[in-house]
């Protein structure tokens, strides 16, 4: 199949039309039979097939999260805001205390040995102000709520064991996707949505689809979430509608039809908000349309955002190269090729150019199989057909195969870390004519 035009790995798939409907909370009494049991009832399997999600209640004991919640209250975004665990008045809109740029929890490893650059800093491999990519503590002040995406905890081995690689989660992954399941070594971390300033604008949805290779998107509640309390919000049946518009079955490749369908979903589908208790987990198809939840409550919404995949033969990573002397950012395609123009302001043969990837993902590589969508999108899913056998494969993570920094080292504290930019010439070879070919270290 023809190689698709590469997309920036940080872009989600969406359209400009607004969400027409407010979310409806989904409570335990709405679940099909079997929600409190390990495994899939036939009602749950049928719901996943048509709606693209299933919720398992109490899948993980809430006590397992205690060490991470304790760590949460000692992290820089909390300390900077003076927020206290026992005083909910200090949880409101902490973003006003956050620095414009933070470089907390980072090693001196940018392009080998430099500090991760601030926006105004001159750099050797990129234009001033080029984006740095994900930080271990990504802080945003959204329209209404302040959000801290703590990506740095997402590669903490104990946190992964208590969430994505928890035996009950692996069991459900195999019951849904079928084996072999890829044992996750990281997830996106803890996403904390803070109560909004009551004087500010009300909370609103931002529906999108993540446009990556994840086969399932999984959200685990680390604290209880009341209706209207910022619960993960998604559009039932949306993955089913989008699937057939993709050029490929396993790598999302949008077509003009995809945009039309996205608009229809936002117009016609009532989104649901995942509410419940700590330890409840929602498993969704990876291409489900979703949004951060509307948060008009008084608590901090704390959830682990995760991606799960089958163990599959993979291809190249989704690399992106920064513009340097005025040229645009260039993304690597599925063949592992960067194509720079030879008559632009950037020297195409310059290998001292910043290259990054979306390091928050557990599976950061294209699936090698580029087949077109199947007639039945669940043709090779299990969906309760076969008994779970513990068919989980512990692959070497991409950061070890590519010898990239990720885990905290030296004096970087637990909860920090992340993959810095490296030089293009360290991962790819110049083939002339503006083309750089990445040296493949896939799990072939
Ligand atoms: Fe998303």
Domains of the chain: 24-102+137-314 (2.60.120.620)
Distance in angstroms (rounded) separating the CA atoms of residues 368 and 183: 18
- Could you please report the per-residue DSSP string of 35-80? TTSSS--HHHHHHHHHHSEEEETT-S-GGGGHHHHHHHTTSHHHHH
The token pair that represents 302 in the structure block? 């704390």
How far away, in angstroms, is 369 Cα from ligand 1 center? 24
How far away, in angstroms, is 294 Cα from ligand 1 center? 14
How far away, in angstroms, is 230 Cα from ligand 1 center? 14
How far away, in angstroms, is 13 Cα from ligand 1 center? 9
Strands 290-291 vs 233-234: parallel, antiparallel or unpaired:
antiparallel
* pLDDT one-digit tens code per residue, 308-361: 999 999 999 999 999 999 999 999 999 999 999 999 999 999 999 999 999 999
How far away, in angstroms, is 235 Cα from ligand 1 center? 12
How far away, in angstroms, is 289 Cα from ligand 1 center? 8
The predicted structure's pLDDT at residue 444 = 65
How far away, in angstroms, is 212 Cα from ligand 1 center? 10
* Residue 426, Cβ density class (10 Å: 0-12 exposed, 13-18 middle, ≥19 buried): middle
Backbone angles phi, psi at 55, to 5 degrees: -110, 130
How far away, in angstroms, is 253 Cα from ligand 1 center? 17
How far away, in angstroms, is 207 Cα from ligand 1 center? 8
Q: Using an 8 Å Cβ cutoff, are 380 and 373 in contact?
A: no
* pLDDT one-digit tens code per residue, 34-51: 999 999 999 999 999 999
Q: Cα 102 vs. chain centroid, distance in angstroms?
A: 20
The token pair that represents 8 in the structure block? 């920036």
Task: Check: pTM over 0.85? Answer yes or no.
Answer: yes
- Could you please report the per-residue DSSP string of 6-18? P--TTPPB--SSP
The token pair that represents 300 in the structure block? 């901090």
* pLDDT one-digit tens code per residue, 139-150: 999 888 999 999
Backbone angles phi, psi at 170, to 5 degrees: -65, -35
How far away, in angstroms, is 291 Cα from ligand 1 center? 6
Backbone angles phi, psi at 81, to 5 degrees: -90, -5
How far away, in angstroms, is 410 Cα from ligand 1 center? 32
How far away, in angstroms, is 146 Cα from ligand 1 center? 16
How far away, in angstroms, is 351 Cα from ligand 1 center? 32
The predicted structure's pLDDT at residue 143 = 81
How far away, in angstroms, is 262 Cα from ligand 1 center? 14
Q: What is the mean pLDDT of each run of 10 residues along the chain (444 residues)?
A: 90 94 94 97 98 98 98 98 97 97 97 96 96 96 92 98 98 98 98 95 91 96 97 98 98 97 98 98 98 95 98 97 96 98 96 98 96 97 97 97 96 97 98 98 85
How far away, in angstroms, is 142 Cα from ligand 1 center? 14
How far away, in angstroms, is 426 Cα from ligand 1 center? 31
How far away, in angstroms, is 274 Cα from ligand 1 center? 14
How far away, in angstroms, is 55 Cα from ligand 1 center? 18
How far away, in angstroms, is 140 Cα from ligand 1 center? 14
How far away, in angstroms, is 335 Cα from ligand 1 center? 26
How far away, in angstroms, is 80 Cα from ligand 1 center? 27
The predicted structure's pLDDT at residue 142 = 84
How far away, in angstroms, is 12 Cα from ligand 1 center? 7
The predicted structure's pLDDT at residue 204 = 85
How far away, in angstroms, is 333 Cα from ligand 1 center? 22
Give the residue among 349, 290, 360 at the shortest CA–CA distance from 13.
290
How far away, in angstroms, is 340 Cα from ligand 1 center? 29
In sequence order, which residues have a C-beta less than 8 Å from that of residue 212 and are 6 or more positions away? 9, 252, 286, 307, 318, 358, 361, 363
How far away, in angstroms, is 269 Cα from ligand 1 center? 18
How far away, in angstroms, is 87 Cα from ligand 1 center? 30
How far away, in angstroms, is 341 Cα from ligand 1 center? 32
How far away, in angstroms, is 155 Cα from ligand 1 center? 19
How far away, in angstroms, is 272 Cα from ligand 1 center? 15
The token pair that represents 201 in the structure block? 């604008």
Give the CA radius of gyration of the chain. Answer: 21
Distance in angstroms (rounded) separating the CA atoms of residues 415 and 362: 16
How far away, in angstroms, is 217 Cα from ligand 1 center? 9
Q: Return the SS3 of 337.
A: strand
How far away, in angstroms, is 95 Cα from ligand 1 center? 21
């Amino acid at each position: 199949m023809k190689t698709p035009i590469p997309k920036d790995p940080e872009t989600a798939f969406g359209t400009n039309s607004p969400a027409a409907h407010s979310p409806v909370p989904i409570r335990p009494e709405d679940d099909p039979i079997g929600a409190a049991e390990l495994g899939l009832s036939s009602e749950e399997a049928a719901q996943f097939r048509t709606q693209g999600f299933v919720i398992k209640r109490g899948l993980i004991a809430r006590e397992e999260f205690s060490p991470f919640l304790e760590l949460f209250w000692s992290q820089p975004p909390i300390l900077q805001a003076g927020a206290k665990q026992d005083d909910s008045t200090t949880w409101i809109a902490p973003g006003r205390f956050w620095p414009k740029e933070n470089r907390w929890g980072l090693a001196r490893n940018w392009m080998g040995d430099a500090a991760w650059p601030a926006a105004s800093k001159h750099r050797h491999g990129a234009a001033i102000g080029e984006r740095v990519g994900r930080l271990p503590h990504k802080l945003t002040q959204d329209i209404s709520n302040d959000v801290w995406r703590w990506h740095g905890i997402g590669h903490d081995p104990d946190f992964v064991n208590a969430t994505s690689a928890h035996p009950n989660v692996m069991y459900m992954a195999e019951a849904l996707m079928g084996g072999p399941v890829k044992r996750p070594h990281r997830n996106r971390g803890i996403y904390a949505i803070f109560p909004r300033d009551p004087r500010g604008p009300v909370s609103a949805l931002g529906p999108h689809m993540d446009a990556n290779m994840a086969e399932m998107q999984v959200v685990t509640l680390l604290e209880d979430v009341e209706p209207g309390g910022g619960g993960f919000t998604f559009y039932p049946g949306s993955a089913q509608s989008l699937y057939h518009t993709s050029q490929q079955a396993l790598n999302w490749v949008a077509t003009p039809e995809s945009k039309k369908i996205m608009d229809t979903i936002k117009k016609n589908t009532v989104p649901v908000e995942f509410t419940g208790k700590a330890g409840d987990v929602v498993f969704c198809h990876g291409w489900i349309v979703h949004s951060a939840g509307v948060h008009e409550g008084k608590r901090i919404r704390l959830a682990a955002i995760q991606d799960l995949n089958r163990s599959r033969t993979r291809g190249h990573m989704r690399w992106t190269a920064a513009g340097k002397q005025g040229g645009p950012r260039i993304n690597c395609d599925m063949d592992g090729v960067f194509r720079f123009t030879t008559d632009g302001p950037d020297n195409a043969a310059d290998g001292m150019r910043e290259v990054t990837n979306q390091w928050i993902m557990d599976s950061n590589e294209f699936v090698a199989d580029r087949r077109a969508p199947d007639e039945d999108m669940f043709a090779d899913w299990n969906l309760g057909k076969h008994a779970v056998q513990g068919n989980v494969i512990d692959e070497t993570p991409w950061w070890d195969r590519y010898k990239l920094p990720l885990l905290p080292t030296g004096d970087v504290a637990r909860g920090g870390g992340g993959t810095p930019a490296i030089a293009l010439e360290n991962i790819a070879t110049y083939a002339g004519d503006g083309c750089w070919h990445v040296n493949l270290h896939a799990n072939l």
